C-alpha cells in the first residue's frame, strides 16, 4: 500500500472531502485504469476460450489462398 499525503475537510463535524496532490491523484487514476484494462482483457480471454478455433491452414483454405505461393519466412 502506498502512503499518500492528504487533507480531510469536514463540514458540520463530519468528514466530507479529501484533498490530495495532483500527482497522487493522477497515479491513482492510472492504476484504476490499468486495473480496468486488466479486467477487460481477462474477460475477453474467457470469452475467446469458449469460441471455436480455426487453424491457419483451414483459414487459408476457407479464404481461397490454399493454392497460392507460400510466404517467405524471415
Tell me the pLDDT tens digit for each residue of 6-44: 899 999 999 999 999 999 999 999 999 999 999 999 999
Residue 45: all three cell numbers together: 480471454
- The pLDDT confidence band at residue 5, using thresholds 50, 70 and 90, is confident
- CB contact set of 19 (below 8 Å; sequence gap of 6+): 6, 7, 8, 9
* Domain spans of the chain, in order of start: 7-63
DSSP letter string, 11-74: ETTEEEEEE--HHHHHHHHHHHHHHHHHHHHHHHHHHHHTS----HHHHHHHHT-TTSPPPPP-
CA distance 12 to 67: 79
Amino acid at each position: 500500500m502506498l502512503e499518500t499525503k492528504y487533507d480531510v475537510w469536514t463540514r458540520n463535524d463530519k468528514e466530507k472531502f479529501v484533498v490530495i496532490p495532483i500527482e497522487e491523484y493522477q497515479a491513482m487514476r492510472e492504476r484504476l485504469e490499468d486495473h480496468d484494462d486488466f479486467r477487460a482483457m481477462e474477460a475477453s480471454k474467457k470469452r475467446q476460450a469458449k469460441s471455436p478455433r480455426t487453424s491457419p491452414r483451414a483459414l487459408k483454405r476457407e479464404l481461397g489462398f490454399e493454392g497460392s505461393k507460400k510466404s517467405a519466412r524471415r
